[in-house]
Amino acid sequence: MATRGDTKRERLRDAAVELVHRQGFERTTLADLARETGIPLGSVYYYFKTKEAIGEAVVSARAAGHRARLAEWDELADPRRRIERFIGMTIENRDGLAQRGCPVGTLVSELRKNGAPLASSAAAIFEDVLVWLEQQFRQLGQGRRSRGHAERVLAALEGATLLAHAFGDASYLDREAERLKEWLRELAPK
pLDDT tens across 89-148, in order?
999 999 999 999 999 999 999 999 987 789 999 999 999 999 999 999 999 999 999 999
Output Rg (C-alpha) for the chain, integer angstroms.
18
Domains annotated on the chain, with CATH: 1-49 (1.10.10.60), 64-187 (1.10.357.10)
Task: Check pLDDT > 70 for residue 52.
Answer: yes
Q: What's the mean pLDDT when you consider all of the chain? A: 93
Percentage of the chain lying above the pLDDT 70 cut? 96
Q: How far apart are CA 70 and CA 79, in angstroms?
A: 12
Task: Check pLDDT > 60 for residue 2.
Answer: no
CB atoms closer than 10 angstroms to residue 29: 15
Region 5-25: mean pLDDT is 91
Task: Give pLDDT, residue 190.
Answer: 67
pTM exceeds 0.85 for this model: yes
pLDDT digits (tens, 9 = 90+) for 139-164: 999 999 999 999 999 999 999 999 99
Task: Give pLDDT, residue 115.
Answer: 78
Which range among 3-7, 38-42, 110-114, 161-165 shows the weakest confidence by mean pLDDT? 3-7
Percentage of the chain lying above the pLDDT 90 cut? 89
CB atoms closer than 10 angstroms to residue 27: 11
